[in-house]
Chain A
Amino acid sequence: MSQDRRVDSYDRGRIEDVGRWKDWAKHKPGMWAFYLHRFTGLVLSFYLVMHLTVLGTGFWLGHTEYTEIIHGLESLFIVKLLEVGLFAAFVFHALNGVRIVMFDMTIGLDVQEQLFYLSIALSFAVVMVGVPFFLL
């Protein structure tokens, strides 16, 4: 396709491709759902790799060390906060994922905006319920 590019046309570059961040305020709910879904997805994938690495290493070191690693991490407040973030990422990704699977079965396509707001509201509620479990 790029061979069809006219020599004198102005290529506005790849920044155009990723998203019109300049106009972020104009982005519609569907687009925000996509951004959030992708962001949380990448976060969760990254965590999956870290999780398996840390726990695996912990186990290869031995049972005592495994327990110590977990307690060492859990004594840090920042770790607890990050875990709330992880939980929030999971809950949103899960609820929005259900929304997407519904679309794939061609259900609810005309109420997609409301479904997005619903998934946001439900995620917020579930995470609020979860906060004491993570921080106490």
Chain B
Amino acid sequence: MSHDEVKQQPPINHAPSSNFAKEVEQEFYGDGIMKCIQCGMCTASCMVASMTERYRPRMLIQKILLGKREEVLSSELPWLCMTCRLCEERCQEDVNLSEIFHAVREIAAREGYIPQVFRNTINKVLEDGWLLNDAYTDFVEDDRSDLGLDPKLSWNNDFVKKIKKRYFEGVTKK
């Protein structure tokens, strides 16, 4: 077969399909993403990945680097990291995966993609000032008294109202 007969293949385009990675880089602690060399050590050490096929941290980083913005933001993937940081201890390139996924969650949240369980919990915290107001029953009060602890818990809920007004107006509705 002579050279002339080799068909010209269209060039493969390795350029990212959007500047999503750059966008992530601009967020708080999102700047580590470009250091990833796609070795897969993170996935190998991730307990979530070992228990479900739905989640692979290396692949999620890759999707971000490839610019798959909508796909990532509208998926559950950035919310499946339990931020245990075991992968970060192992990553030889010092990629701060859990912070990067937090940065992605912030972007997702601004566009209205928030898992319902996060929405509900955040609405509670921004109302009560703390997480477990509804779980604080008379039984628990009695246990606290028996243990010699103050049964009156004094959580502040004024400050969260300010936080809600300033940072979450409109974000967690639904």
A, B in one complex: no
The residues of B with any CB-CB pair to A shorter than 8 Å are none
* Residues of A that sit less than 8 Å from B by CB: none
